[in-house]
Amino acid sequence: MMVNVETLACCGLLLLSLGLCVHSVPITADRTKENVPDETLEPPQSAETGLHYDRYLREVIEYLEKDPHFREKLKNANLDDIKQGKLSKELDFVHHNLRTKLDELKREEMNRLRMLIKVKLDMEKDSTQKVNNRALLKYFEHLNHVNPDKFEVEDLERLIKSTMNDLEHFDKAHHEEFKKYEIMKEHERREHLKNMDEEDRKKEEQHYEELKKKHADHPKVNHPGSEDQLKEVWQEEDGLDPESFDAKTFFKIHDTNGDGFFDENELEALFTKELKKVYNSDNEEDDMVEMEEERLRMREHVMNEVDTNKDRLVSLSEFIDATKKAEFNKNDEWETLEQQAVYTEQELRAYEESLANEEKNINVKAVELQKQKEELDRKQEQLNAQKAELQKQRKVNQHQLYQETTSQCCPVTSSRMYQCQDTLSKTSPLCVLNECQSVCVLVCVRVFAFAIISIVF
């Protein structure tokens, strides 16, 4: 990761802010008397990134950018100006109101740091001593306060231990995933060759060997953490004279968050120059997944050599001590991944066997599912046949009911009418009318019952 202008500007501004309370040289320019609006300066919004100095650093920058003169100088500053500290001279011309706010920011930050140091010393001195937990948690707002009423030394120790274990497990899991990735890639390559004829297979094998040879043909990769490796970063990334290499200055430049330590990300950024010698995303022969594994290996190597207290951080003293060792001046070439066996043939065969077993299990399950499907299809056919039979029987029943209804209604009506006609002379008209009404009511009831049965079925 290249050190850019914005990062150096942030670091430079942080150093500038640390000297705000120091007596400044007499101001000869009359810029402080310029008419700057006397507005109420509210604390700027701070992005919660979790970095130790992030809030303080961002507030300093935002306040300085409120001054038109300083903002213009910052805009026109180049990388060399920031490195050489030329921008700090412009601090004398910042408006008085802004200088007052910057003084307040510095005092708040110093008080916060003193508070944290005092709490740490108290907790280490006496584990039974009660700490003002609410005041402490105020400075750790990014934490999840599961137990806000009690925070003791044991809690802190467990937190650190858990974090260390998780990070170590992460590295181990990353290596295992990478090995699996390489094995799977080789397996797919061999399976691809099996599906080719003899001539195409030879061409593919030849092309594969050419890519391997091309990938291995790269400039010498310096040993991570060696003098040559750091001086190369010093010269080509920082633009400084390699003969003037200074370990402390190098540390300050690449301690991008300014917390006084090299964390894992800051260390890995130092290896970008070496990795570019071997890997290029535009090249067919270079695998970027392998590049990230290489970066992780380099970081682990430097941590094992330099991180003496095993806290996964490299302090300034640890870094300087490492530069004084005899190994620092040795420039043994770093063995890259293509020079090492990531996996064995036995591991590859075990992987292929696991794939074969998995495929076998899948086929067995597929057969079982096919049988279940056929059984379900058979039952569905039976249900469809039963449904068709019921529908057929319903139509027969409906037809029979209709026949019965008509046979019971029409003949009765006819016979009754004929009887009425035959006996018309013998019976009064009122008798005939009552008889016909009774027949009509019976017909209506039966027709209504037939309609209901048809709707139900």
pLDDT of residue 7: 43
d(CA 75, CA 81): 11
Nearest CA to 224 out of 339, 338, 342, 336 is that of 336
pLDDT of residue 66: 81
pLDDT of residue 224: 94
Burial class (CB in 10 A: 0-12, 13-18, 19+), 285: middle
Q: Classify the C-alpha dihedral 80-22-56-102 as positive or negative.
A: negative
Whole-angstrom Cα Rg for the chain? 44
Coil vs helix vs strand at 314: strand
pLDDT of residue 441: 58
Which sequence spans correspond to the domains of the chain? 5-138, 153-343, 347-456
Per the CATH hierarchy, to which homologous superfamily does domain 153-343 belong? EF-hand (1.10.238.10)
- Each residue's pLDDT tens digit, 377-401: 999 999 999 999 999 898 888 888 8
pLDDT of residue 114: 56
d(CA 417, CA 342): 108
Distance between first and last Cα of the chain: 79
Bridge-based pairing state of the strands 314-315 and 261-262: antiparallel
pLDDT of residue 238: 93
Look up residue 120 and give its amino acid: K
Q: Which residues of the chain have pLDDT under 70?
A: 1-58, 60-61, 70, 74, 77-96, 99, 102-103, 105-167, 406-457
d(CA 250, CA 233): 9
pLDDT of residue 452: 66
For the record, the structure tokens of 112 come out as 């916060």
User: Checking phi first, is residue 85 left (phi over 0); if not, alpha (psi -120 to 50) or beta?
Assistant: left
- Report the residue count for the chain: 457
d(CA 81, CA 8): 10
pLDDT of residue 104: 73
pLDDT of residue 221: 94
pLDDT of residue 33: 41
Nearest CA to 306 out of 297, 298, 314 is that of 314
Q: Is-contact 123 152, C-beta < 8 A?
A: yes
Give the H or E element holding residue 289.
Answer: helix 288-306
pLDDT of residue 438: 57
d(CA 373, CA 343): 43
Q: Is-contact 35 117, C-beta < 8 A?
A: no
Q: Classify the C-alpha dihedral 194-196-202-205 as positive or negative.
A: negative
User: Checking phi first, is residue 364 left (phi over 0); if not, alpha (psi -120 to 50) or beta?
Assistant: alpha
Look up residue 282 and give its amino acid: D
For the record, the structure tokens of 155 come out as 């809690």
Q: What is the DSSP string of 337-399?
A: GGGS-SS-HHHHHHHHHHHHHHHHHHHHHHHHHHHHHHHHHHHHHHHHHHHHHHHHHHHHHHH
Query: How far out from the chain centre does Cα 306 lie?
Result: 30
pLDDT of residue 43: 40
d(CA 224, CA 332): 10
- Each residue's pLDDT tens digit, 64-123: 778 787 677 767 765 455 545 555 556 666 666 776 776 676 666 656 655 665 666 566
Residue 24: CB atoms within 10 A of its CB come to 11
Distances (CA, A) of 152 to 119, 136, 241: 11, 11, 49
Q: CA-based angle 217:223:224, to the nearest 5?
A: 115
pLDDT of residue 451: 59
For the record, the structure tokens of 362 come out as 């899948």
pLDDT of residue 311: 75
Q: Classify the C-alpha dihedral 9-254-169-297 as positive or negative.
A: positive
